[in-house]
């Protein structure tokens, strides 16, 4: 990996999640509308949404070699959509547990950046339709090759 290529690290993380959890559809920052959501017995089939954070420079870990050699980090907001709250919470716990400590190529080990949140989305009649559970994971970016630039 060369340069501060956040997309390359994100692609590695997404591929890992898809390989580890083949039973889930994984969407890269996409949110499905009601018509597109796959349903089982009238309820939403569980799926994941990956929402990526930007490239952030750590002000505490800077380098005398220049800003390209400073420590950078990013984040992943992982969202699980499921037909009930317990399944959403259970799924987010399993996926988060698998990711914490895993180190993607070009990045540092993933760490939890707090707890998780749950919410419900109601259908047009006001009935609970989809339950969401989300958590944030952080990771250092570009542990090698930071002095070079991205080549398109």
Most confident of the following: 27-31, 81-85, 138-142? 81-85
Residues 6+ positions from 94 with CB-CB distance below 8 Å: none
Asked whether the predicted pLDDT for residue 34 surpasses 60, the reply is: no
Is the model's pLDDT at 99 over the cut of 90? yes
Query: Count of CB atoms within 10 A of residue 90's CB?
Result: 15
Lowest model confidence (mean pLDDT) among 1-10, 15-24, 54-63, 94-103: 54-63
22 pLDDT above the threshold of 70: yes
pTM of the model: 0.80
In whole angstroms, give the CA distance from residue 82 to residue 147.
43
Beta strands 56-57 and 43-44 are unpaired
* DSSP H/E element including 85: helix 85-99
To the nearest whole number, what is the mean pLDDT of the chain?
A: 79
pLDDT at residue 1, rounded to an integer: 47
pLDDT digits over 41-98, tens only? 566 678 899 999 988 777 666 555 555 556 778 999 999 988 888 999 999 999 999 9
């Amino acid at each position: 990996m060369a340069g501060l290529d956040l997309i390359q690290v994100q692609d590695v993380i997404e591929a890992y999640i898809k390989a580890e959890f083949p039973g889930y559809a994984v969407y890269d920052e996409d949110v499905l509308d009601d018509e597109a959501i796959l349903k089982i017995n009238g309820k939403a089939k569980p799926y994941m949404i990956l929402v990526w954070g930007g490239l952030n420079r750590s002000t505490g870990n800077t380098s005398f070699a220049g800003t390209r050699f400073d420590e950078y980090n990013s984040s992943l907001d992982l969202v699980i959509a499921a037909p009930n709250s317990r399944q959403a919470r259970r799924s987010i716990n399993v996926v988060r547990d698998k990711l914490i400590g895993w180190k993607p190529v070009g990045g540092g080990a993933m760490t939890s950046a707090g707890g998780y949140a749950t919410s419900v989305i109601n259908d047009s009649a006001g009935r609970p339709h989809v339950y969401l559970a989300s958590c944030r994971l952080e990771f250092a970016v570009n542990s090698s090759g930071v002095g070079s630039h991205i080549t398109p």
